[in-house]
Amino acid sequence: MSDEIGRPSGAIKSRDSLFVAKNKIDRDRRERYEFGPFLLEPAERKLMLGNEVVVLTPKAFDTLVLLVRNSGHLLEKDELLSMVWPDSFVEEGNLSNNIFLLRKALGEDPPYIETVPKRGYRFVGAVRQLPLAAPPRLEEPPELHRELASEVSIGAKSRKGWLRIAGPIFVGVACALAALFAYRGSRPRAEPATLTAAPFSALPGRQSGPTFSPDGSHVAFAWDGDPASGSSGSDLYVRALGSETLLRLTQHPSRCIDAAWSPDGTQIAFHRVSGSDTGVYVVPALGGPERKLRATHIPYCFTAISWSPDGKWIAFVDSLPSGESYRIHLLSLETLESKEIPHAPKCQAEWWPAFSSDGKQLAYQCLQGGAESGIYSVATSSGEPKLITQFSGFPQGIAWTADNRRLIVSNYSNAGELVEVTVADGSLRKLPFADSSLPAISRKGDKLAYSARTYNKNIWRKDLLHPQSAAVKLISSTREQFDPQYSPDGSHIAFESTRAGIQEIWISDAEGTNLVQVSNFKNPQTGWPHWSPDGKKIAFDSRESGHPEVYTVDISERVPRKLLTNVAGNSVPSWSRDGKWIYFVLNEVRGQRIYRCPANGGDAVALSQPGDYSFGPIESYDGETVYFTTFGTNSTLHAVSVKHPGAESVLQEMPPVRNMTLWALAPGGIYFVSPDASRSVQYFDFATKKVRQIFEIEKGLAYGLSVSPDERWILYSQIDEQKSELMLVDHFR
């Protein structure tokens, strides 16, 4: 027999082999498999790459073992689900998430795991089963040998008598157990009770960031709708459950506020973003003067904080001194000194800290590049961060359940769904709530609160030759449309829209009419459209398969085709001016880089250096340079040479960009929106290195700017209406 699994002579041949292999775990504890540079030892729960252990979630490891043992054979999705989660009802997304994690860990050059559409998966790498290691021999003292010999002699004489007595007992016990298992097997599994959410209050405006008092009787939250405030900013309020009476705690309308109740219920800590007043504060829960504990330096609303159950620490997010990334810090209430938590090497940014109810763990979100996020936990006593689960999307809030076994996570990028994550194995279960963020759970675990938001984003057009004239609402609906992009001849507009119920790519003519949908992935993470220079195709990305991939679509055919290249995890594409190349962002272990590959597919090459977070590559009009942004406290604009990869520089004279999408390249400069003037479109002139203001926007901006080829018009997405209300789920356990 061949020692390679995956070849006809060495593969397990029966369809029952999956179950045989699974049950074999306890009978043979010494199996070892080798494929490529990897060594898999199921009994030791280890996957080795050379001398390094490859970290996997428990269920991802189990999935790998089953695939390797059945190498060369198709394993149906239902089979894998039943074997990896034998006692649980889980969704298919848990399995696809495991496959995604395995592909990232193993790499895809060469590919080890093949997807059989609508069926399952097959391990296609050549696997060699190594000889079994001899079990360790335990030396026994001579006295034990003599005692055993004596016992064997006596036992041989008494065995027949013992069997006559015990035989009927064994038969009776076996029958009773069989009846018990038959009864239990016939009982239907109890389905979880239906969870329903009801509005916590009927206030106008935006409410967000709920936090329960320790006894669960009150909720503190941010609200921007009080007419007495005279501002659109948010202040901190408290309301008792079952009451409409509000207690206003702060008198400082701010851009963002998130709060956490003290364990003894006497104080509320909050983190606000408000210019020079940005920082962490405390205020008495019954009202009184606020006190600033520490200044912070974040311009965005990553203000979630958590108060440890022992009352000694407040976890919050702040930027590093370099301003290039975010880290979670712990603020001591005794000394007011702060320290960073241990850092996971793959983490480019850390957000949404949450202490477990027993205070032993701190969970948080780790941005790993692109739209890939990991949920980590770190022991508060000591130790290194541990990966709980990983998925595509941007979580917006994390809460522990009272038993510390599960996390409730809001996946902002996936229609704002709430997901329940089992800490032990990283499995996911969707909860029946969407458009949600910032979940909070009462200390008893019987109540869940979250912010439910609705947006109306529309595409507007401004006349750059007559900036004093009113802007025109060009493309609108009751849902969202954003990231507009003019075609090279200015005759069409590509954009993202949820008008059909989920985010897809659409096109219209230049006047915003004759709308056509060109993608139909039914995946909320489909976007970033960019035109080919001939105006016949659009490149975009989608996470329909579970991880980011670049597609191109002919607008006349409207059939997307995946861009095939030698690297995986590609996103945010754009075309070169000559149409020969497609640029994109690739998430790597060391960070993100800008790559390019032939427009029809082929090997990709890196252009930029690894960075914390690179986004939106756009080629200059002369084809010599690629511009892109990096993400940090501010999004700075970078330039890298096309002819000399790695030759990278920062546009020092140009101010930072408010977010990675709010800039548009023109032949002579860049139109952009800065963090310091969030409703002002400005222009940076390449020749003079000067910045001038172009026009003011009436309301808040969403994603994307685009300038027509003749620089007559500019498109932007405006948030015409934004609402959020607090929802309460009672009997949550």
Q: Is 471 left (phi over 0), alpha (psi -120 to 50) or beta?
A: beta
Of 144-153, 402-411, 724-733, the poorest mean pLDDT is in 144-153
| Token pair of 630 as six digits | 């990096």
* Alpha-carbon span 282 to 271, nearest angstrom: 9
Closest CA to 268 of 210, 327, 320: 210
| Token pair of 529 as six digits | 């459209």
Note the pLDDT of residue 89: 65
CA 551, 557, 563: angle at the middle one, nearest 5? 20
| DSSP conformational letter for 709 | T
Q: What is the residue extent of each domain of the chain? A: 4-129, 201-454+724-730
Share of the chain above pLDDT 90, in %: 48
| Token pair of 680 as six digits | 């002002």
The model's confidence at residue 683, banded by pLDDT at 50, 70 and 90, is very high
| Token pair of 421 as six digits | 């994550």
User: Which has the higher per-residue pLDDT, 580 or 593?
Assistant: 580
| Token pair of 231 as six digits | 């501002």
For residue 181, give Cα distances in angstroms to 173, 178, 184, 193.
Answer: 12, 5, 5, 25
What is the rounded average pLDDT of the residues 715-730?
90
Of 152-156, 416-420, 466-470, 564-568, the poorest mean pLDDT is in 152-156
* Alpha-carbon span 381 to 10, nearest angstrom: 48
Residue 379's Cβ-count burial label (10 Å; 0-12, 13-18, 19+) is: middle
Q: Which residues contact 551 (CB under 8 A, 6 or more apart)?
A: 519, 539, 540, 541, 542, 560, 561, 562, 563
Check whether 461 has a pLDDT greater than 60.
yes
Of 517-521, 523-527, 532-536, the poorest mean pLDDT is in 523-527
Check whether 600 has a pLDDT greater than 60.
yes
Is 3.60.15.10 the CATH classification of the domain at 4-129? Answer: no
Neighbours of 180 (CB within 10 A): 10
Q: Tens digits of per-residue pLDDT, 356-376?
A: 999 999 999 988 765 678 899
β-bridge mates for residue 207, sequence order: 223
| Token pair of 669 as six digits | 């400069």
Q: Tens digits of per-residue pLDDT, 5-17?
A: 333 333 333 333 3
Share of the chain above pLDDT 70, in %: 82
Note the pLDDT of residue 116: 86
Which amino acid would we find at residue 695?
Answer: F
Q: Options 2.120.10.30, 3.50.50.100, 3.30.70.20, 3.30.56.10; which CATH number does 201-454+724-730 get?
A: 2.120.10.30
Check whether 181 has a pLDDT greater than 60.
no
Check whether 457 has a pLDDT greater than 60.
yes
Which amino acid would we find at residue 272?
Answer: R
Check whether 702 has a pLDDT greater than 60.
yes
For residue 127, give Cα distances in angstroms to 4, 33, 324, 426.
Answer: 5, 7, 43, 27
Check whether 19 has a pLDDT greater than 70.
no
Note the pLDDT of residue 326: 87
Which amino acid would we find at residue 538?
Answer: I
Check whether 166 has a pLDDT greater than 50.
no
* Alpha-carbon span 317 to 311, nearest angstrom: 18
Written as one string, the DSSP assignment of 665-684 is EETTEEEEEETTEEEEEEEE
What is the rounded average pLDDT of the residues 682-693?
95
β-bridge mates for residue 670, sequence order: 665, 684
User: Are the C-beta atoms of residues 542 and 533 closer than 8 Å to each other?
Assistant: no
Of 107-121, 219-233, 423-437, the poorest mean pLDDT is in 219-233
For residue 90, give Cα distances in angstroms to 24, 31, 410, 568, 728.
Answer: 24, 29, 18, 27, 25
